[in-house]
Amino acid sequence: MNANKKSGFPMAERFSFTQRYFLTTLFCAFTAIGLTFFADDFDHANIVMSLLLVVLLVSVNLGRNCAVYSAVLCVILFDYLFVPPKFSFAVNDPQYLVTFFVMLVVALTTAHMASGLKEAAADASKREEVTQALYKVAKDLAGALTGSQVNEIISKFILEQTASKSWIIETQDNKIVNDDMVKGSPFSIESHMATVALRDQRTVNSTALNGAEWASLYVPLSTSRRTYGVLSVSNIENPKISLKMIEALASLIAITLERLHYAQVAHKTELEIISERLRSSILSALSHDIRTPLTVLVGLADSLLLVKPTLPAATLETSRAITQQAMRLSNLVSNLLEMARLNSGEVKLRSEWHHLQDVVGASLQHLNLALSDYQVVTNIPSDLPLVEIDAVLMERVVSNLVENAAKYSPKGSRIEISAIEHQKDIEIYVLDQGSGFDETKLEEVFSLFVRGEKESNKSGFGVGLAISQVIVKAHRGNIYAENDSSGGGVVHILLPKGTPPVLEQEASA
């Protein structure tokens, strides 16, 4: 594909334009003069065939133009040297005019077909060379591990094939090419033309930039899924010949970049899975090791409250504080164990139809000590439909949300737990009068171990909301957080309504 590649006429490539015509003239002239020595022994038909052979040889070795020239020249020499009167262009017998015409037609046809076949063979050879080169570069690209390696392989290939420089602009679906993306390029890049190629998904070529230190050709690197950038090429010697090859090369580059992209995604996902498994294993191990002494601590703290005779007031207050903190720590450990089990996939839902009043009541009873300094208000309609849930897990969700609300609300403030029936789901929300959530982290509050700056002075590991989200998602529901207009935070839970069973008393009515 290089301009210096062979044309298919090896003899012609060694001589200039003038030299080729001079050689054609000598070849035809010496052949015709040599045949004059056998003019008395050879029939004119044999002499004509010999001259046509000369035209064929010229066609094969010196190209189409020299072949046409030799065809005309051989007819002229045949007339001058062999047709009576010899050494004259006069023709006594009119039949020779037909001979001249047939000879010229046959010579031109021979020249055209022979040179055409030679050129076709040369083109086929060139295409085979290009195919082999593309096959080799495809093998090299298959082994590339980074974008820089791809750029290096392509730059070397294009330099060898077209004597041009190239550079890959990686954009990752960005529809605009700016100067920051082309740092390191061996030539200047026209950002507007690269953007047009990227946006319109077409090859952009500017012949005005050929010969300058600018990229003149921009080819988008696109697959059926996405666009990965633009291939820029400068100083193409023969753009008409090399354009198709470069577009085919761009497809190979795009496929390679897509492979690298998905390999990177797969590697990242694998690391995340391994990291999550390791973290869950550590959580499970630590939680089990902590739970045993913690159970003993809670039991001893409770026993102090039952000692007879009753302990002094100060000691009882200390005992209650120990019990409260031990219960809080117990809840934290339970959350860690629950998260470890949920992440490992060991916990399966035991769904039954329950009334939300029972679930919320059980949760509040569990948090009785922790909520003693707050005004807890429940607003759950008695005619609210039953919901199909795992009551134990949903109690954990409500407990986590209420405990989280109490943790970030001032003592004596109000915590509201309400439920509302919608057309397709049941909504539960927990509203507090604290400082609310960080607006920039509303999407992150449900991530494991993620805590905002406002939470940095509070106890806890940042797992309560993460556990709640996992459990709610397992119930095919949704959970999200926002800030109330009053300034506090509110967490919403949406559970699908389903079709609850008909109670016996309703059936009898």
* Residue 8 pLDDT greater than 70, yes or no: no
Q: What is the pLDDT of residues 182-227, one digit of tens each?
A: 777 888 888 888 888 888 888 888 777 766 678 888 888 888 888 8
Cα(259)–Cα(11) distance, integer angstroms: 46
Tokens of 82: 């062999």
**The Cα angle at residue 149 between residues 146 and 150, in degrees rounded to 5:** 90
Instruction: Compute CA distances 172 → 177, 221, 262, 270, whole Å.
Output: 11, 10, 12, 22
> pLDDT tens digits, residue range 115-149?
778 778 777 777 787 778 778 888 888 888 888 88
* pLDDT for 261 beyond 80: yes
Q: Helices 95-142 and 239-305, interaxial angle, to 10°?
A: 20
Which residue is listed with tokens 């699908």?
496
What is the rounded average pLDDT of the residues 271-292?
Answer: 70
Distance CA 138, CA 153 (A): 10
Q: Please tell me which residue, 278 or 224, carries the higher pLDDT value.
A: 224
Residue 494 has pLDDT above 90, yes or no: yes
Say what the pLDDT of residue 5 is: 43
Label residue 495 by pLDDT band (50, 70, 90): very high
Distance CA 201, CA 217 (A): 13
Does the pLDDT of residue 470 top 90, yes or no?
A: no
State if pTM tops 0.85: no
Q: Give me the pLDDT at residue 245, please.
A: 78
**Each residue of 32-62: pLDDT tens digit?**
888 888 877 788 888 888 888 888 888 778 7
CA 161 to centroid of chain Cα atoms: 28
Q: What's the angle, vertex CA 459, arms to CA 454 and CA 460, rounded to 5? A: 100
Please state, for a pLDDT cut of 90, what percent of the chain lies above it: 4
Asked if residue 348 has pLDDT above 50, the reply is yes
User: Which whole number is the average pLDDT over 400-413?
Assistant: 86
For residue range 360-389, what is the model confidence (pLDDT) as tens digits?
988 888 787 678 788 889 999 988 889 998
Q: Give all strands of the β-sheet with 165-170 in edge-to-edge order.
A: 165-170, 227-234, 215-222, 204-205
Rounded CA separation 187/235 (Å): 10
Q: What is the mean pLDDT of the chain?
A: 79
pLDDT value of position 417? 92
**Ranked by mean pLDDT, which of 265-269, 326-330, 343-347 comes out on top?**
265-269
Residue 478 has pLDDT above 80, yes or no: yes
Instruction: Give tens-digit pLDDT for 69-119.
Output: 888 888 888 888 888 888 777 777 777 777 777 777 877 787 778 777 877
Domains present along the chain, CATH in parentheses: 10-137 (no CATH), 145-264 (3.30.450.40), 348-505 (3.30.565.10)
Q: What is the pLDDT of residues 418-453, one digit of tens each?
A: 999 898 899 999 999 888 888 877 777 887 666 544
**Chain centroid to CA 271:** 19
- In this prediction, residues 462-469 reach a mean pLDDT of 80
Tell me the average pLDDT across 8-12.
Answer: 57
Q: What is the pLDDT of residue 439?
A: 80
User: pLDDT tens, 145-164?
Assistant: 888 888 888 888 888 877 78
What pLDDT is attached to residue 427? 92
Confidence of residue 2 (pLDDT cuts 50, 70, 90): very low
Q: Return the H-helix or E-strand segment holding 249.
A: helix 239-305
Is 314 strand, coil or helix? Answer: helix
